[in-house]
Structure 1
Amino acid sequence: MKALRPQLPIEVPSAEHALAHFQTNVLRPILKFQHEVLMQYFEAHLKRTHTDLAKIPLSSRITYITQMLNRNQPLKYMLFGMIWGMLTEEEALFYEQNHQELNKRLTQFLAKRLCDGWCESYPEGCLLA
């Protein structure tokens, strides 16, 4: 599973906290690897719910997506599952032991990635300030 993940050129200080190390070396590469699948599901969700992100000011869009993830548990857990499915057994155990903090971080990462990915797909919708 690890061999499938892209190698990201991020330097990790040797004295770094275990959670930061996990997010840098595990979560970020998985998010990059799963980007297209995450975006496909998110865009389908937006269509099903008739949500037009272009109407949300760019400055508020990440907050809006974060709130959407926090309020819509099925959406959040489907996206989380796409990430969880890429964890090794050892990584899943670490995640479970630190799930409260890692869930917060993963929600933030997902909101940013979904917002940025949406802007890549619909640049005309990101021209609004």
Structure 2
Amino acid sequence: MISKLDIRPKLELTAIGRTEGFQNVTLRPILKLQHDIFILMYRNWAEKHRVKLVSINQDEFSNILENSFSRNNVVKNQLLGIVIGQFTVNEFEEYKLESSEYNKRIFTMIKKRLFDSFEELKS
């Protein structure tokens, strides 16, 4: 039987400390695995909110992205659910210990990933 760990991309990252280790060993591979879902979900959000991604520049997109994360808990919770749903039981136990810190890291990495994927989002 294939496990959740088997389907994740293998990343060669080093880490100092437990929190950074969880970020590099668990979170980053999950974010890479779920990249296409993040793109589709954000595109869907943009369409529902009548944000014309094709007609804005990257600076405007940066502002929209920040606002969508700061003002819209629905989007944040959906994105967070996409990540948490990929955790193993042990990973979830670790996540619970520092959930606020991990959530900040997750949102920062997703925003960066979406910003860096601006052209992909537009197409």
TM-score bracket relative to the smaller structure: 0.7 to 0.9
Residues 42-78 of structure 1, C-alpha deviations (whole Å, 9 max, x = no match): 1011011011346655346445423311210111101
> Counterpart of 2:9?
6
> Counterpart of 2:107?
107
Counterpart contact for 1:31–1:83, Cα < 8 Å: yes
Counterpart contact for 2:8–2:29, Cα < 8 Å: yes
Number of residue pairs matched by the alignment: 120
> TM-score scaled by structure 1?
0.82
> TM-score scaled by structure 2?
0.85
> Counterpart of 1:92?
92
Q: Return the letter of the residue paired with 1:4.
A: I
Counterpart contact for 2:95–2:102, Cα < 8 Å: yes
Q: Tell me how large the CA RMSD over aligned residues is.
A: 1.9
Percent of pairs with identical residues: 28
Cα pair distance change 1:58/1:103, threshold 3 Å: same
The runs of 5 or more residues in structure 1 that have no matched partner are: 124-129
Q: How does 1:16-95 map to 2 (within 5 A)?
A: 16-53=16-53, 57-59=57-59, 61-62=61-62, 64-95=64-95
